[in-house]
Structure formats: C-alpha cells, structure tokens
Amino acid sequence: MSQVLNIQNGKIVTVPEVATIEEIRDEIREVKTFYLSIDNKEIWNNFKYKSGQFIMCTIFGAGEFAVSLPPSPENDRFHITVRTVGKVTSALHGLKPGDKVGLRGPFGNGFPFEEFKGKNLVYVAGGIGLIPLRSSIVHALQHKKDFGRVLVLHGARTPDDLMYKENIKEWQSFEGFETYITVDAPTPDWKGETGFVHTLFDKANLPVENTIAFVCGPPVMFNTVIGELLKRGLPDENIYSTLERHMKCGIGKCQHCAVGRTLVCTDGPVYTYRQIKTLGEEI
Amino acid sequence: MTMFLIKKADVGNIAQELSREYQIYGPMIEKGSGQTFFDRAQDLAEINLSAPIPSNPPKSVVFPQMERILSYEYDRAKNAVKMEPDYKIEPRALVGLRPCDLAGILCLDRFFMGQEFVDEVYLNHRKKMFIVTNTCVAPFKQCFCVCTDSGPAAGEGYDLNLTDLGKECLVEVGSEKGTALAAKLALKPANDSHLAMKKEKVDKSIAMFEGIAVDSKAWISRVMNRVTTGFVKEDVWEYVGDQCFECGACTFVCPSCSCFNIADVNNPECAGCADRLRTWDSCSYEGYSRMAGGHNPRKPVEDRRNKRFFCKLSYSQMKKYLRPGCVGCGRCAWVCPGDIGLPNVVTYVRREITR
C-alpha cells in the first residue's frame, strides 16, 4: 500500500502538504525539472508511490495542476518535470529554489509491474511523452534481471526537443538496456537518426513475442505508433499508455477527467490499448 | 416502521421545533413572480408544503454553487505557508422536500460518499442535515418520476416523511433523528389504516399522471440499452448537439448533476492570501474538457451532449449508483432553450429504435 498524502482512512483531506523546491534544472525549451522535498519529515519518510501515478501540485496564488511522477519509486530524488502550458505551470516556472509548493497525492493506478515480469519492455515516447514513462523506465533499469530486453525509443521534433538527454546517456551505459533516438527535423550538426519514432522499430529489431509496449506522446504520434505496433502483431492488451486530462480533484468527484465510462484520476492514468479502444473518445 | 399523525394546522410545528437546532430551508412562493423556490426561510410561515415543485432543486444546500474548501496564506518574505480547510457548515433542515429531489440527494450521496474516496466537504454537509419529505399526492405538469422510480412517494433516505391525508398528515419516521424529533412533538401514533390511506393517495397520484403530467414522458429503461451499447446513431447525437446552446442550465437545475470546478482566488486585501473555491461546472461547456495547452478531446458539442445523457442513462451508472442519474423532476426540459431536456432526448432515441 502506498502512503498517500492527504488521504486518511479513505477520506480525502483538502489541505495539501507543503513541499520545498530544492533545485531547478532546465530540460528543454519551456520544460524544467523541479526537485522537491516534503516539509513534514514523518510524511516525507513514508511517502511512497507507484510508477505511472500522478500528483496534484499547488502553486500558491495561482492554482493546482496534475503532473506525472517521473522518478522511480526507489532510489531517486523526488521530482516533477513540467512544461509551461498554462497559468499555473507558468507560475511554477517563475519560482526559485527554496520556494514552497503544495502537494496532494499520489493518485491513479500506476503500471501493474507484477504482470510484466519476464517480459520484454518497449518504451516508445514522443517529445515530452518521455516524462510519464521515465518512472517506469528507471524502475525497469533497477530491476533489469526481472525482464527480457528493455528498449527505449525516443523521438522528438528537433535535437533540442529531446528529453532527459543526460539520463538517456546514462541508460545507454547499462548492460542489456537499449536506447534509440530519432528527430523529425534534424539540425545540420545532428548525426543520429531522422524520421518519426516508429521508423526505429526495424533498426531496434523490435520484439513482439512476450512483449509489453508503453506508448506516450502527442495524439498524432500515438495513433501512428499504435497502428504500427498492432501491424507487427502486438496484442492490444500488451500496449500501455498514460492518458492526460484536465483534472481538479484527483479522487473521482469533479468528473473533469471522465473518458468514456472511466475516470483518468482513479481508473487511469494507465490504460491498455484494449481499454482505450472502448472508451469512445479522442486521446 | 414508526408512524404518527399530526393535524394539518400543526404541521408548522415541525419546522418550528427544527429551527431550534437547524437553519430551515423549504419551498416558498415568491411574491410577485408567483414562482416557487427552495430557499432558506427567514420566516417559517413562508414555507408552503402545497406549493408547486420549486424551480431550483435543494442541491445547492448540500452542494453549494460556490463554496470555499480551503484558505491559505503564503508569506514569501518568511517563506511560510499557513493553510486550513475552510468550510463552515451549519446544521440545516430541508422541510417539504419532494421525493424526486430526495432521490437527487441520494444520487449525490452515493456518488460523493459511496465510492473509493469520500468527499469530506459533502460528508460534513450531509452529517448535519435533517430531511422532511412531502409525498406528492398529485403530480405537476412536467413530472415523470414514475418513469425514473423516484416518486411520487419517497422510499428511503428521509428523517421524517409527511403525507397529506386530508385533515391530518401521516408522519413516517425514517431515522433516529426523526424518532427523536417525533418524541419532542408528542405526536399521536398512527396505525395500518393510515398507511392504507397513504397507499390510496399514492395510487391516486400515479393515476393522475396521465391527465396532469402531460409535458414529459421518459421511458428510460428502453433507452438505457441503446445508450450503453453505443448504438445510438451519430445523427441523433448531432441533432441533439445542434439544438444545444451550451448554457449549462440543464446541469445547474438537475438535482443529481455534481460536476465541479476548483479555482484559487487571491484575496485583494491580503498579499499572499487566497481561497480555494469549488463551483458547479457543466459538461456542456466547451472549456470543460479542454486541457492546458488547448487540446480538447471533446470538441464537437454533440460529443459533450451525448456524454451528459450517457451519464444519466447508462447501465454502468446504474451499477455504480443503483439508479439512473435522472430523477424525473422535469426541470431540464423546463429550462432548456434548445428543447433538449432529458425526456425529449429519450424520445429522439426511442423514435430511432421504433422507426
């Protein structure tokens, strides 16, 4: 059972936990990573979550937003990676180390990792779609012996839009960990692959048997990649993604994240493609 | 079940007794407009149990249109945050609630308190509430509670239930709080003959639907299958969507609609102070499902409209909340400028089935 901030005995408490920004790192244009620690040490020490879950973050004076948890649940500093897309995320980008934010969560289902044991894991991420998958990737890296091949395929618009460049370099050095990178619009100094992310499938000799694929990225990329995976014979139920919606409460009450008959905050954000197909809504 | 009788002239004593502990809400006819509103009674004599169904449901008493759920102060100079949950909830009594509106509150109960997470704010409202329902001995024009199993008599969930038997009212007790109140009023016990009289009244009320409740009919059970299995043709939803003005009125007058938005509002008089408010929201609004960055998975209006009717009319909702999301009050049909209240939509879907 994960320790949940602000949820006690199934009852939600509306007050967020105060956290301090320890460090801020620039990732790519408009995207920064914020390293955080929760001020209440007792809660901080017991704070646990599953990869794939998300958290609600309050920027005092601006509002609250939902953000995925990219660090692995184990042995990693707690951080969030956020792009400026609206009022609240812009306010976050204006903060400095030492400033306070509020946190509620973690919410959502997370990846069912127990079911992935002994399988090949394929991560396909377009642009900042790598953020919600990072947690699971690092987890797989820490438990490499439990899995077969582990592949990370990352595509971005330009070399400047590639996420977590430092991390990817690190991952490449791990034995049995394969990373493939491509960009759509290369700069003159780009020496790597060009083309959309699914064009890497052949180069990577993508496994199909006994394989779980994780797909995350903009809607256009999502549809193309899923189509390609299905064509290669990957079954619907072995393709996972995390959905994004406008969220307010995180506990299934405000209904802003309703997709079909499910709610992203409680039934998601992790869905299999088999589920997504039946939701009857755009991604 | 414990039952009592109260003289009709003494019914006001119930509100009077409750007013010692509770703020009293009830149906009142507004002078001038002649419309009935369910509102807080400044003068208990204003409560009118024979008034027509109120224009607004009592939803706002238990789930206010705008409510502060948290206030905080961020002192940047000291880098200190002060936060406290801030919802001041007074004990409130709803007197003269119609059975459909009680069904609406029970829908909200199941939704806010009956799932994995309990909504603390709602729970606090609900704990401090006393409910006196009023059996509808005759329907009103727009009623169709007989189609939604929510009237004309309340089945459960009240503290006291009143039924007009002519000179006297039958008082049925539905909770410990109700028992305690009945004891305070020292009421005369009722017997099975009075219950039989109530049954007669209710049967007569049901029989009157055909002549009086002529505005709306909604054969919901037949439509549920179609809505749930997704076999309603696109053009039906498109037609419904084309009629929608996206005003949100249907959701705001609906006794069971519960979607809300949350926003932090800064206090102009105190630097760093803000209130977190939750306010009603409507799935018909274009901005409802729009995400930061502008992507909106539910762009066309018909997509948003069919989501509302799916919410009211699907088996999956039935399984979760044990009844359809509609309670048959007819208010959505009453307020909709596009004429796509729920009964009409049910008709459109059925017409397609029978065609």
Q: Which pLDDT tens digit goes with each residue over A31-72?
A: 999 999 999 898 888 888 999 999 999 999 999 999 999 999
Residue of A nearest to B294 (CA): A85
Burial A35-46 (b: 16+ CB within 10 A, else e): bbebeeeeebee
Cis status of the peptide bond prior to B27, with omega within 30 of 0: no
The chain A residue lying nearest B109, using CA atoms, is A253
**B273: nearest CA in chain A?**
A61
Residues 96 through 115 of chain B touching chain A, CB cutoff 8 Å: 111-112, 115
Rounded CA Rg of chain B:
22
For residue B257, the distance in angstroms to the closest alpha carbon of chain A comes to 10
Check whether A8 has a pLDDT greater than 60.
no
- Strand A150-156 versus strand A177-183 pairing type: parallel
CA distance B351 to B219: 11
The closest alpha carbon to B103, from B323, B283, B270, B320, belongs to B323
Tens digit of each residue's pLDDT (9 = 90 or more) over B216-251: 888 888 888 888 888 888 889 899 999 999 999 999
What pLDDT, on the 0 to 100 scale, is given for residue A186? 93
> What pLDDT does residue B32 have?
92
- Check B264 against A61: CB less than 8 A apart: yes
Question: A109 with A52: CB under 8 angstroms?
Answer: yes
Compute the distance between CA of residue A118 and CA of residue A199 in angstroms, rounded to an integer.
26
Residue with tokens 């794939």, as numbered in its chain: A52
**Distance to chain B for A123, nearest Cα, Å:** 24
- Supply φ then ψ for residue B289, to 5 degrees: -105, 5
Contact of A12 with chain B, judged by CB distance below 8 Å, is answered with yes
Please give the Cα distance from A123 to A137 (Å, whole number).
8
**Residue A208, Cβ neighbours under 10 Å: how many?**
15
Task: Note whether B66 contacts A: Cβ–Cβ < 8 A.
Answer: no
For A64, the closest of B123, B262, B288 (CB atoms) is: B262
Given this model, what pLDDT does residue A2 score? 34
pLDDT at position A204 is 92
DSSP structure class, residue B118: B
| Pairwise CA distance, residues A122 & A241, whole Å | 12
Task: Give chain B's largest Cα–Cα span.
Answer: 74
Q: What gap in Å lies between CA B64 and CA B55, rounded to an integer?
A: 16
What is residue A185's three-state secondary structure?
Answer: coil
Q: For A86, which of B276, B292, B307 is closest by C-beta distance? A: B292
CA pair distance A15, B161, nearest whole angstrom: 38
**How does residue A270 score in pLDDT terms, banded at 50, 70 and 90?**
very high
pLDDT of residue B185: 94
Q: Which of B135, B152, B134 is nearest to B143 (CA)?
A: B152
Which regions of B159-269 does DSSP assign to beta strands (E)? Answer: 160-164, 168-173, 188-189, 260-266
Q: What is the pLDDT of residue A1?
A: 26
Test B74 with A256 for CB contact under 8 angstroms.
no
Q: Where are the alpha helices (DSSP H) in chain A?
A: 41-46, 87-93, 130-142, 165-172, 200-203, 219-231, 273-279
The answer to whether the Cβ–Cβ distance between B123 and A64 falls below 8 Å is no
Subunit contact B116:A255, Cβ cutoff 8 A: no
Helix, strand and coil percent figures for chain A, each rounded to 5: 25, 30, 40
Which pLDDT score is estimated for A116? 94
Q: Map residue B315 onto helix, strand or coil.
A: helix
pLDDT at A232: 95
Chain centroid to Cα B302, Å, comes to 25
Query: Which candidate, A50, A51, A56, A44, places its Cα nearest to that of A14?
Result: A56
Any B CB within 8 A of A94 CB:
no
Rounded to the nearest angstrom, the minimum Cα separation between B80 and chain A is: 8
B104 Cα to chain A: minimum distance (Å): 16
Query: How much of chain B exceeds pLDDT 90, in percent?
Result: 70
- With a cut of 70, list the residues of chain B below it in pLDDT: 1, 353-355
From first CA to last CA, the distance across chain A in angstroms is: 30
B84 touching A (Cβ < 8 Å)? yes
Question: Is A85 close to B293, i.e. CB distance below 8 A?
Answer: yes
- On whether the CB atoms of residues A106 and A4 are closer than 8 A, the answer is yes
Kind of pairing, strands A11-12 and A79-83? unpaired
Cβ pair A281:B297 closer than 8 A: yes
Is A12 in Cβ contact with B117 (below 8 Å)?
A: yes
Mean predicted lDDT score pLDDT of chain A = 90
Q: Which of B69, B272, B298 shows the shortest C-beta gap to A14?
A: B69
In DSSP notation, A200-246 reads: HHHHTT---TTEEEEEES-HHHHHHHHHHHHHTT--GGGEEEE----
Would you call B353 helix, strand, or coil by DSSP? helix
Contact B119, A253 (CB under 8 A): yes
Subunit contact B264:A266, Cβ cutoff 8 A: no
Count residue pairs from A and B with Cβ separation < 8 A.
Answer: 121
Q: Which residues of B touch A252 (CB under 8 A)?
A: 115-117
Residues of B in contact with A64 (CB under 8 A): 262, 264, 276
Q: What is the pTM of this model?
A: 0.90
ipTM above 0.85, yes or no: yes
Where are any strands of DSSP class E within chain B? 3-7, 23-29, 36-40, 66-75, 80-85, 92-97, 129-134, 160-164, 168-173, 188-189, 260-266, 273-280
- B289, A88: Cβ pair inside 8 Å? no
Contact present, A140 and A111 (Cβ < 8 Å): no
- What angle do helix axes B120-127 and B99-113 make, rounded to 10 degrees? 140
Structural tokens at position B350: 């059925």
Q: Taking 80 as the threshold, does the pLDDT of residue A16 lie above it?
A: yes
Q: How far is A187 from A204, CA to CA, in rounded Å?
A: 23
What are the pLDDT digits (tens) for A69-78?
999 988 778 9
Q: What is the dihedral of CA A184, B295, A130, A160, to 10 degrees?
A: 40
B-chain CB neighbours of A258 within 8 Å are: 283, 307, 311
Would you say residue A3 has pLDDT above 80? no
CA distance B233 to B180: 54
Given a cut of 80, is residue A281 above it in pLDDT? no
Residues of chain A in contact with residue B259, where contact means CB-CB under 8 angstroms, are 254-256
Indicate the residue of A63, A86, A252 with minimum beta-carbon distance to B117.
A252
> 3-class DSSP state for residue A179?
strand
Strands (DSSP E) found in B64-191: 66-75, 80-85, 92-97, 129-134, 160-164, 168-173, 188-189
Q: Residues 56..85 of A with a Cβ closer than 8 Å to B: which?
A: 58, 60-65, 85
pLDDT average, residue stretch A113-117 = 93
The 10 Å Cβ neighbour count of residue B246 is: 15
Closest CA to B24 of B167, B181, B186: B181
CB burial class (10 A; 0-12, 13-18, 19+) of residue B260?
Answer: buried
